[in-house]
Each structure stands twice: as C-alpha cells, then as structure tokens.
Structure 1
Amino acid sequence: MNKAKNAAFSYSFLMPSFILTIVLGIYPMIWAMRYMFYDYKGYGTERFIGLANFERAMRDHQFWESVANTFIYAGGKLLISIPLALILAVILNWNIKGRNLLRAIFFMPTIISTAVMAVVFFTIFNSYNGILNQFLMKYHFIRNAIDWLGVDYAMLTVIIVAVWGAIGNYMLLFLAGLQNIPQDVYESSALDGANKFQQFRYITIPMLGPVMQMIIMLAIINALKGYESIMVMTDGGPIGETNVMFLYVYKLFFPPAGSAAATQIQEFGYGSAVAFITAVIVGLITILYFYGSKRMSQND
C-alpha cells in the first residue's frame, strides 16, 4: 500500500510535464504529419492529395537553396564557435586574475533573448548608419560604408552573430570537462619534459573526447535548427542568401504580410511536408555524426 502511494505521489509530479509534452509536442507533431497529405491553407476545406506535397517539395528550388544555405550557416558556425570556445575554456581554466568575471561575460550572451540580440546586432551592422561602419570610417579603416547585410556579406554577418550567441554555452561545457581532468596527469607530463602545447595536444584533447562529442552534437543540431536571429536581421534576404530551412518552413505557416518574395497565403499542408523533410535531414545528419563518432572512438 505504501509503495502504491509513493508511486502515485511520484507520478503526480511527473504528470504536468507529461501532459505538456503531449499537448505541446506530440499532438502538434501528429497534427502536422496528418496534413502532409492534404491541400490545406489554414481555412476552408481540406483536400486529400496523397504525396503531391512531397513531389512539390522535390521541385521546390527555394527549399533546396535554403537547405544549402543551412549547411553553409551551420558549417561556418561550427568551424568558428567550437575551436574558439575550446581556446577560451583552456585560458579561463588557468589561475588568472578575474577569470570568474570573464567567464560570466562570455556566458552572458547565452541568456540574452535571441530577438533582442539580433536587434542589437542589426543596429551594429546596419549599412547606412550602423555603429560598425561609423567606427571604421571615423578611424579611416574604410572610405565607404560596407553593406554588411547585403548579398556579399549577409551570410558572414549572421554567422558572426550566431557564434557570439553560442560560444559561451560551449565554453562552459568545455570548462566542466577540463576541470574533470586530473592535475596529476599534467604534473607527470611536465616532469617528463612536455610543454604546454604538447600537454594540450596529447592530454587535454584526448581526455576531452566524450565532452567534445556531446558539444559537437549539440552544436550541429542547434546550428541546423537556428533561424530566429536570421529572421530578425535579414528575414532570409537579400534575395534568399540567408534563407535557411526552418525559416522557410516558418514562412510557409506564417507568411510575412506584404512580402513579395514570400508566399502570401498559409500553406499548412505543404508546410507540414517540408517540415517533415527538414526533420528527416536533421535526423540523418545526427545519425551520421553518431555513427562516425562511434567509429572514431572504437578506432582510438
């Protein structure tokens, strides 16, 4: 009887989370999967069309351009943020003055709202009266304002913003991994004549392996799913240069009013199909990463 009461008491605490997961997670997923096979604009009648939405997605050049943009965006973010976060973690793991303050400063962007962060950076990178252009022209680094949100630099700009927002989180995870490495290992290697670089190469990197695998996995998923800062800064422009997968899906469900480049009506049916294809792409990349990291661990 006591066991039953304890179990009921425990499950009562889990029930709110379970209900929210069903209502906000599982039900919308089932709802979207149902409409993948329908022509439904969000109003009026729904018409069953089978696999027509998937056939349309295969011919949708804008969608596949968004997929290519997503890989460019994710690749740039990963190649910059992870090495930089590791270097910062190593430096801030040393016994230097003010390291706790520096840790807090670098971690601060992680807790700032993405929308607020994007608005601030839009002000900085604005082509006409942006803070960055004013600074560069004032000190004669450039003569004319650079169009940071134009065709040539928009992708680089949104990658820089993404790196700034993500680096603190990865740095914190690397710090946790570094603090779990026994100091005896470094002391023994120093007695054997190993310098700082050799310790980093042959001790730090290998012993951070499990943590690094987790960080890379999180970074891949977050980079492939990211679109909020891009939506605020460029809305996928100019001419689709920064349009990524999840932003494209978002616009199918919630088309921006008055935008000639976007679909002017809600595409619930087609949007559900594209969202499913997008989820499959992210899932396949995650599986490939798991498989590749597992093989590398076995070879080591």
Structure 2
Amino acid sequence: MDKRNSLGKRIKQNRVAYIMLLPTIVGFIAFVLYPQLWVLRLAFYKYNGYTPPVFVGMDNFVRLFTRDTVWWKAVGNTFYFSTAKLLVEIPLALILAVILNNNLKGRNLFRTVYFLPNVTSTAVMSLVFYFIFSPYQGILNGILQSIGIISEPIDWLGQGSLAMIVCMIVSIWQNFGLNMILFLAGLQSIPDEIYESADIDGATPVQQFIHLTIPMLGRMLQIILMLAIIGSLKTFDLFKVLTNGGPGHDTEVMMTYIFRYFFVDNMSTTAQPQLGYASSMGLVATIIIGAVTAVYLWMSRKLEENY
C-alpha cells in the first residue's frame, strides 16, 4: 500500500513538472527547432519568398565557398571584431571585479552603474552612439573641436578601420558590466582563508592574483569566455544600426550579411530576397560558431586540468 502511494505521489509530481515545462518545450519546438529545420531544408533550394522553391542541391554552398568574396570578408570581420574586443573586455571586467570586491565606499553604486548598459536595448544604445559619433552634428566632434584637438570633423563611421573601432568600443561598453558581475560572483566564492594563508607566507597582491585568484576563477572564466565568444560571433543589431556593414562592407559581419539576403536593403546586391542562399549562409555560420565553441571548450578543459 505504501509503495502504491509513493508511486502515485511520484507520478503526480512528475505530471506537475511536465506541465510546468510544457510552455518552454512548445516554445522551443515552435520558435527554435522548427525554424532551424526549415532553414536546413531551404538551404538546398532557390527561393525568393514568392515563387515556388526550386531544388538546386549544393549550388548555394558552391556559390558561397567559391564565388562570394564578401561573405568571407564578413567572416574575417566577425573574428577580428570578436577577438580584438574580447582582449579588452574580459581583462577590464576582471580588473574592475577585483577592485569592486574590496570594501570600497559606494561599491554597490559602481556595480549598478557598470551593469546598466547591459540592460539597455542594443538598438537604442547604438542609435545614441550613432548621434554621438556623427561627423557633422555629433557630440564627440563638437567637444574635440571646441577644445582645439581637431580642426575638421572626423567621419568616425565612414572610415572602415575607425568604424570597426567605434563598434568595438560600444560593444565593450555594453557588455563588460555583465562579465564583471559574473567575475564578482566567482571572486566571492573564494574562501578568505586562502588569501590569509598567502599573506602569512609573504605573497604580494600581484602574486596572489596570478597564482590564486585566476586559477580559482578557472571554471567561472571558462563560462564567461564561452558566453562572450558566442555573443560576439552573433553580433547583429549593433552593426546594423551603427554602420549597416559599411563603408564598402568594411564592417560587414556574418549576421548582417545574412540579413541582406533574407531582407533586401540598400546595400544588397540583389533586387529580391534570396531565402535559399541566405539559409545556406545561416547554416554555415551556425557550423562556424559551433566549431569555435567546441574547440574553445576542448582547449579550456585542458587548461582547467592544470589547476
């Protein structure tokens, strides 16, 4: 009798759990799994959204790998942007986390201020920075001219190298606060006794940071870097609002280029959508991001074994 009651209780609990999970499962199937399968199928078709799709086999991938030089420029820009900005963003977040982990006056205020950009809409934030860096009516040029640093306005978003640097600055400003909070969570999980023992042994703060803090943050650092890499490789709205991939595709990234073929705009090389070709690019981009993530996880696992 007790076994029956226990079994019935477990079934009831499981039923409640499945009911609670049902909205998430339905949402995943409807908005993630089905679109991915649709894109996977469409990658082998020529389709403009109006006429019936025509099966072309591997033609879209042949075109992508052999004839579309802009796509590979977009891939290179994506990796350049992600690598360069993370080399600044991650160390900055870690250093600020270490500073704010101490008993500083007003540290909670600084934590809040640094984290606020992360909760701001990327599109709205990019629009604000667009006006800041505008060449003729921008706030930055106005300030620099008023104090005599420059005599002529600088076209920050109209020159390829400068435009990419501006995008990096905006992205770092938006994302370092979240990484800082995650680092803070990892720092606060490190027992104080470890640092007290290091002080007794005569270790300097720099030695403690290198030989204690960083190794103890290994698992958290692995997660933070993985999320930052994936997020950087998938960046879209920042570039769409600030530069729209210009000038001359110098700030084109994978996601903005895919967008051009799904939704034709003024920089597209086609007069109508090419959903099949865009789907093939989306599939290749997914494989690239997945491969980078897998390689990173393998490398970081090897590094973690050293600690």
CA 221–154 in structure 1, closer or farther in 2 if over 3 Å, else same: same
- In structure 1, what is the equivalent of residue 154 of structure 2? 146
**AA paired with 1:105?**
V
Question: Please, which runs of 5 or more residues in structure 1 have no aligned partner?
Answer: none
Cα distance in 1 for residues equivalent to 2:244 and 2:162: 15
Cα distance in 1 for residues equivalent to 2:157 and 2:264: 21
Secondary structure of the residue aligned to 1:235 is coil
Could you tell me how far 1:129 is from its partner in structure 2? Answer: 1.2
Superposed counterparts of 1:218-297, under 5 Å: 218-256=227-265, 259-297=266-304
Could you tell me how far 1:49 is from its partner in structure 2? Answer: 0.6
Q: Does 1:188 align with 2:197?
A: yes
CA deviations on 1:84-130 (whole Å, 9 max, x unpaired) are 00011011111010000000000000100000100111111111111
The correspondence for 1:103, drawn from 105, 111, 115, is: 111
The correspondence for 2:123, drawn from 115, 121, 126, is: 115
Question: Please, which runs of 5 or more residues in structure 2 have no aligned partner?
Answer: 1-7
Could you tell me how far 1:264 is from its partner in structure 2? Answer: 2.7
**AA paired with 1:269?**
G
CA 168–283 in structure 1, closer or farther in 2 if over 3 Å, else same: same
The correspondence for 2:101, drawn from 59, 77, 93, is: 93
Report the TM-score, using the length of structure 1 for normalisation: 0.97
- Is contact 2:45–2:54 with CA below 8 Å preserved after alignment? yes
Q: Does 1:66 align with 2:77?
A: no
**AA paired with 1:25?**
V
Secondary structure of the residue aligned to 2:305 is helix
CA deviations on 1:131-180 (whole Å, 9 max, x unpaired) are 11111111112222111102230000001001011101100000000001
Cα distance in 2 for residues equivalent to 1:126 and 1:8: 57
- Is contact 2:260–2:268 with CA below 8 Å preserved after alignment? no
- In structure 2, what is the equivalent of residue 14 of structure 1? 21
Cα distance in 1 for residues equivalent to 2:303 and 2:185: 23
Cα distance in 1 for residues equivalent to 2:193 and 2:75: 47
Cα distance in 2 for residues equivalent to 1:260 and 1:181: 51
CA deviations on 1:28-62 (whole Å, 9 max, x unpaired) are 00111111111101111111110000001112111
Q: Does 1:4 align with 2:7?
A: no
Secondary structure of the residue aligned to 1:115 is helix
- In structure 2, what is the equivalent of residue 136 of structure 1? 144
Could you tell me how far 1:262 is from its partner in structure 2? Answer: 4.2
Could you tell me how far 1:260 is from its partner in structure 2? Answer: 4.6
Q: Does 1:211 align with 2:220?
A: yes
Cα distance in 1 for residues equivalent to 2:166 and 2:93: 19
CA deviations on 1:59-100 (whole Å, 9 max, x unpaired) are 211100000000111011111100000011011111010000
Runs (4+) of structure 1 exceeding 6 A deviation are: none
CA 166–262 in structure 1, closer or farther in 2 if over 3 Å, else same: farther
- Is contact 2:219–2:304 with CA below 8 Å preserved after alignment? no
CA deviations on 1:191-236 (whole Å, 9 max, x unpaired) are 2222211111111111111111111111110000011111001000
Report the TM-score, using the length of structure 2 for normalisation: 0.94
CA deviations on 1:266-286 (whole Å, 9 max, x unpaired) are 111001101000100111111
Cα distance in 1 for residues equivalent to 2:148 and 2:209: 40
- In structure 1, what is the equivalent of residue 58 of structure 2? 51
Alignment RMSD (CA, Å): 1.1
Secondary structure of the residue aligned to 2:177 is helix
Identity of aligned residues (%): 44
**Range moving further from structure 2, 200-209 or 64-73:** 200-209
CA 276–291 in structure 1, closer or farther in 2 if over 3 Å, else same: same
**AA paired with 1:4?**
I
CA 231–262 in structure 1, closer or farther in 2 if over 3 Å, else same: farther
**AA paired with 2:216?**
M
Cα distance in 2 for residues equivalent to 1:194 and 1:2: 57
User: How many residue pairs get matched?
Assistant: 298
**AA paired with 2:152?**
N
Secondary structure of the residue aligned to 2:278 is helix
Secondary structure of the residue aligned to 1:153 is helix
Cα distance in 2 for residues equivalent to 1:200 and 1:6: 47
